[in-house]
Structures are given as structure tokens and as C-alpha cells.
Structure 1
Amino acid sequence: MTDPNGTSQANGADKSLTETALHGAKQLSKETTDILEPPTLPPLSTVTRNLHNQITAFLAEDHDPSSLLYRVQQQTRISLDVIRESLTRYPIHELSISYNGGKDCLVLLLLFLASLHRHCASTSPSCSSSIASNQSHSSNSPPSHPTYIPAIYAQPKHPFPSVEQFVTQSSQAYHLKLTRHSTDPPHSTIRSTFAEYLSSNPQVRAIFVGTRRTDPHGSKLTHFDRTDHGWPDFMRIHPIIDWHYVEIWAFIKHLGIDYCPLYDQGYTSLGGTNDTHPNPKLKVEGTVENGGLNNHVVTYKPAYELIEDEEERLGRD
């Protein structure tokens, strides 16, 4: 579906933030768990301020109550409230985010960063001293804003190169200190990955997760869920749990956010190269004439043209 309400209409000055940041990261992309040093990219304080302004402007737009973008505005407000509650429950240094470059965790990350701007403005300097960036500052003069966000990437055994490139670029652009843990069930699972991450980062008590209601094991989740028995103990925070597939894409397209290019090739849910394929619901068959012969050609529409939540994972084994 190409919804007229889902086209990009972001404000020019604020929209350019993500494009500029990602462009800068593309020029210096490399596998690393550390963010780039300024002045290569805008500092995190600039990123959060611009995202805050961009999303605030979006929420101020006038949309018909029956429109897709009106629903996205409502979902955005709910998610921002959940994130604000998280920031009152936990100091920032006890928070982390699960990030794999996918569309859902990308939306979650942007909402978290936008919330961080207002939170740090209202709580500084207590906000600023809570992330390890203060290692470069004396305890008597903490920075006015954290300089990076701790994040965990549970990497599939056979990752797509384009996903890896986007994860690296976007992590740099959004100032994530990303820890990669390769999964290889049954030897290394999502559960053991988080256990290892928390063992190395014992200060983390809660992790933002981009799970949605229609994802596997997502049907009974709430905004705040402590891990089940047998898992390492931490609070899972699900600010976008009730977003629908089309709402995720409307947010991304309307705000002009850069996303992983695999989505433009018909992939709607990203995993590894061994278990992820273009979604058959987006398949387009046709013929192309070549030298007097008609050759059968198969292409795929982009991910944002899919409509139904239940069809999102049809490209996954």
C-alpha cells in the first residue's frame, strides 16, 4: 500500500539531521563498538535536540482523525509517555537498547533519543553524569549531555552485509556504543547473549526492546515486563508494542528517516541470510523483451507497500 499520508513531508531543517549524520557515517563506516569522535559527526546533544524538534513538529501537524498519520501521532504520544516513565524509573546509566538496524528498533531508538533531549534539559547535571562519557570530565564539572547510548546487537550467525553496514552507519550517526554478540543456536542463543551482555555491563537494569504485538512471543507483553524464569534478570521495556506494521512505515517515510536498503528489495522482516527472503506478498512477475525474446522477470515491491501485520514474517523460515 502506498498511503498518501505516509509520504515524506518532514520539515527541511530537522529532516536534514538524520540524512547529514548518516551521510557522515557512511564516509567513515567501519566495524567498531565505539562511536566516532567529534567533530566528524554532530554530537549526541545535537542529534537529540533535532529529533525532539522534528517529532514535536510532527505531533503538531493537523491530520484527519480517520487518517493513518493521525493514528501514528497517537501511537507516538503513547510511546513517548512510556519512555518518559522509564526515565523516571531508571537513571540513564541503567538503561540500554536492543538494536539490530531493523525498522521497529529504529523507530524506538529515534523516540528514545527525542525523549532524552527534554529529559536531560530538565534534569541536568544529574542526567549528564549517568553515562560513561563523564570519564573524560572531572567529577566536579560533568558534561551537559551524555555522549553515547549503550546498546546490544544480537547478531545472526549469517548476517546480511547490507544490514551490517546500516547497523554500523546508524550506530555511529545516533551515537550508540554498540556491543555485538553473534548468535549460533544452540551454542549461543538470544538468552545467553543477553546474559553475557549484562555480565559485562552489570549497571544495566532495563533494556528497551522494539518488539510489537504481532511478533513471536509478543501477544501478552505489556510496556514493562521483567524477564521470565531462566533468563538473566532485567526489565524489558516495550514502548512500541502496540504499533502496527503500516504505522511503523508511515512514521519512517513521513519523517524522512534513512533505513536499511534491504527493505526496498521486498524484505519485510530481517534475520540472517539463511532464513530471510523477500516477502512473497510483494512479488511482481513480468516479462522483459531482450533480443526478440520475452524473458520472465521477478521483482519485489518495497516493504512499506505491505499492509497486513500477519503477512510481515512470510519471508522468514
Structure 2
Amino acid sequence: MCNAFYAAKVCHEQVQTFLASSPTNSLYSLKSTFDNDNNPVSNLHNKLHLPTLYPPSFNATLHQSAQNQVLRSYNDFLSVLNHWNLEQLSISYNGGKDCLVQLIIYLAAIYQFVEVEGKGSEREPHTIHVNAVYVHTENEFEDQLRFLEKSVLQYGLDFTAVYTTIDANDYDSSQILTGKANELSKGKITCLFSPTPTLPCGFLTYLKSNESVEAIVVGIRRTDPYGASLKLEQRTDTHRGWPDFMRINPILGWHTSDVWYFIKWLQHASINTDFAIDYCSLYDDGYTSLGGCDNTVRNPQLKRKDSGKKDMLFWPAWWILDDDIERLSRVQKGKV
């Protein structure tokens, strides 16, 4: 049965194992070619027509860099948990790679704080309540929505989807999350509808329905738009129309290479367990930054030279790791 406590326990074990691992055992050093390996990761990567199991960049240097980033974010979360209780906190989660990384580390830190250190004020033993929110401002890809729904239930989140461009009466929309993907899950999905189609109004709608929430974890990095000058904790710009809450920015210093190395390490480590950690399949198809259907394309820099026009192939997002080209998946709305 998937619930937040079990998910947090698993995430804690994976994070601790990763932090204790030796950089000499990097992903690239595991196996340079496929050979006859029947490992599920090998089978998955083989379908992508890759020359080696992992890219050469997944080496000891990147392994250590990702460890440093995970440890920094993990300690930042522990610091945050000393100032905010779980009812006051929420995490912004859209199923994208950055949000996934911070969710896993957040859950690991919660388990350390509540269960290992015996802090916090959970009402029942061995229970964890995790608020989460996503304000929908785009017409998302079906694959992203299905992964979002699946992972919300897998991690046992108390999740609120706020729709800014869909009418409250339009429950037949394919964009509406149902929360019925796994009846054994303890995850919960609530749908709200914003009166105006803006991101600030979407968050205001969420906060009005969740009055205990005072701080929201946001997966922004310094390489993202508007991320260069942010701090770990920073209040919203109320003078620009935002509702008043504290933004928690735990992965500011991460690079896309760190993000993908950690995700692929988690996938490799968990794939044969009862809690397999996965990511949205669009990233395997050459999308590097996910927005809406009308402003997101496969990254042109990932187009493979060895593919023909009729069967165009792209490297997966995690194969070529460069912050400068990451957002080339985003284009002006209506140009797709």
C-alpha cells in the first residue's frame, strides 16, 4: 500500500544510500555496453537506440557533484522543518524532473525529522501528511498528466490541482486529474478552479482552501528565468499581485546534469523493488523542459545525426547535459 510514510521511508533509504556511495561506482562505470544484460534499465535504454548503458558524462565527477547537491538540499529541508510544521508546508509538484528531485529529498528529510529524530507533531505514530499543489496554467501533454497522477498516488500526497483555464463545470476535460489510477493508494487528489487564468490567482485559490499552509516548496533553479537572485526562503512579491506566502527554493544551485544523474541513479537502484522510482516518459523522447502542448517541442539540439527524416530520433534529455540548451524545448506559444 502506497502512503506518504512508506514513500518517505523508501526515499530516506535511497537518499542515504546515494550519499554513502563511492563516486568510483558511478553509473557509467557500471557497464559501458549492453551485451546480454537483461536488467530492466538495459532493456529500457536499448529501446532508445543508445550506444552505451549510460552517457560518458555519468562519471565519478558528476556522481560526487550530485551527492553534494543532494546533501545541501537535504540539510536545507531539515532546517526548513525546524521552522515550519508539515501542515504549514506544501510542495509545488507538476511531475517534472526538478519537482521530482525535490519531492524525493523532501520526503527523505521528513522521515529523518519525524521518525529518526522524533521531532514534529504528527498526530499518529508512523504517519506523515504531505501537502502538495500544482497550478495548471498550460494545456499539458497527456503523458505528463498521467505521470503526475500516478506519482502523486505513489508518493501518497495530499495533492490539490488548481485549474486556471478550465471552467469548473467542464469535468469531462482530459486535463482533469481523477485520482483513480490506484485504489490502494493513500494519495488524495482535489481539484479547484481559479476565477481568473493567472498563476498568482491560482495560488490564492489554493491558499484560501488550505488556510494552514504558509510556505510552498518551489522547484526553481538559478539557471531558470527569474531564479538568479533567489534565496532559500523568500516571500512572494505581494506588490506584484502575488498572495502572501513564503517560497522555499531548495534546489537553486543544481544543474540539469545533477538532476538527471540523481534521477537515473534512483531509477537504477529501485527498478527491481516494490517502489520503483521513475520519471515522465517525454524526457526519453527528447523533451528537456516541459511546458504546455503549444509551447514545448523536442529539443532541436538533441536531434540525432544518425536518424533519417522519416524516422527522426532524438537523444533523451539526460544524455546531453547542458544548462544552456535545456530550455530550447520551450518556444513561443502557438509556434509548435
In the alignment, the residues of structure 1 paired with residue 293 and residue 133 of structure 2 have an alpha-carbon distance, to the nearest angstrom, of 20
In structure 2, the residue matched to 1:234 is 245
2:232 to 220, 223, 230: 223
Cα offsets for 1:96-147 (capped at 9, x unmatched): 0000000000000000001111111256584312xxxxxxxxxxxx34322x
Instruction: Determine whether 1:266 maps to 2:275.
Output: no
Instruction: Determine whether 1:193 maps to 2:206.
Output: no
In the alignment, the residues of structure 2 paired with residue 101 and residue 118 of structure 1 have an alpha-carbon distance, to the nearest angstrom, of 24
- More helix, by proportion: 1
In the alignment, the residues of structure 2 paired with residue 81 and residue 234 of structure 1 have an alpha-carbon distance, to the nearest angstrom, of 22
In structure 2, the residue matched to 1:5 is none
In the TM superposition, residue 214 of structure 1 has moved relative to its aligned partner by 0.8
- Residue pair 1:96, 1:149 contacting (<8 A) in 2 also: yes
In the alignment, the residues of structure 1 paired with residue 16 and residue 236 of structure 2 have an alpha-carbon distance, to the nearest angstrom, of 33
Instruction: Determine whether 1:50 maps to 2:10.
Output: yes
5+ residue gaps, structure 1, are: 1-40, 130-141, 289-294
Cα offsets for 1:205-244 (capped at 9, x unmatched): 1011110111111011111111112211111001111000
Instruction: Determine whether 1:174 maps to 2:155.
Output: yes
What is the SS of the residue equivalent to 1:152?
strand
- Residue pair 2:216, 2:247 contacting (<8 A) in 1 also: yes
In structure 2, the residue matched to 1:144 is 126
5+ residue gaps, structure 2, are: 25-58, 166-193, 268-276, 332-336
In structure 2, the residue matched to 1:314 is 328
- Residue pair 2:290, 2:296 contacting (<8 A) in 1 also: yes
Task: Write the letter of the residue equivalent to 1:213.
Answer: R
**Change beyond 3 A, Cα 1:155–1:309:** same
Instruction: Determine whether 1:301 maps to 2:328.
Output: no
- Residue pair 1:124, 1:145 contacting (<8 A) in 2 also: no
What is the SS of the residue equivalent to 1:100?
coil
Task: Write the letter of the residue equivalent to 1:164.
Answer: L
In the alignment, the residues of structure 1 paired with residue 293 and residue 286 of structure 2 have an alpha-carbon distance, to the nearest angstrom, of 14
In the alignment, the residues of structure 2 paired with residue 235 and residue 183 of structure 1 have an alpha-carbon distance, to the nearest angstrom, of 21
- Residue pair 1:105, 1:210 contacting (<8 A) in 2 also: yes
In structure 2, the residue matched to 1:60 is 20
- Residue pair 2:3, 2:154 contacting (<8 A) in 1 also: no
Q: Bigger relative contact order, structure 1 or 2, given CA contacts below 8 A and separation 6+?
A: 1
Cα offsets for 1:27-58 (capped at 9, x unmatched): xxxxxxxxxxxxxx233222211211111111
In the alignment, the residues of structure 2 paired with residue 162 and residue 220 of structure 1 have an alpha-carbon distance, to the nearest angstrom, of 33
In structure 1, the residue matched to 2:168 is none
Task: Write the letter of the residue equivalent to 2:79.
Answer: E
In structure 2, the residue matched to 1:98 is 92
Map of 1:6-155 to 2, 5 A cutoff?
41-63=1-23, 67-122=61-116, 124=118, 126-129=120-123, 142-146=124-128, 148-155=129-136
What is the SS of the residue equivalent to 2:87?
helix
Task: Write the letter of the residue equivalent to 1:145.
Answer: T
Number of aligned pairs?
A: 258
What is the SS of the residue equivalent to 1:128?
coil
Task: Write the letter of the residue equivalent to 1:178.
Answer: F
- More strand, by proportion: 1
Identity across matched positions, percent: 39
In the alignment, the residues of structure 1 paired with residue 116 and residue 62 of structure 2 have an alpha-carbon distance, to the nearest angstrom, of 32
- Residue pair 2:137, 2:163 contacting (<8 A) in 1 also: yes
**Change beyond 3 A, Cα 1:73–1:96:** same
- Residue pair 1:208, 1:238 contacting (<8 A) in 2 also: yes
In structure 2, the residue matched to 1:211 is 220
In structure 1, the residue matched to 2:187 is none
What is the SS of the residue equivalent to 2:111?
helix
Task: Write the letter of the residue equivalent to 1:253.
Answer: K
In the alignment, the residues of structure 2 paired with residue 59 and residue 283 of structure 1 have an alpha-carbon distance, to the nearest angstrom, of 34
In structure 2, the residue matched to 1:30 is none
What is the SS of the residue equivalent to 1:207?
strand
In structure 1, the residue matched to 2:191 is none
Moved more, 204-213 or 50-59: 50-59
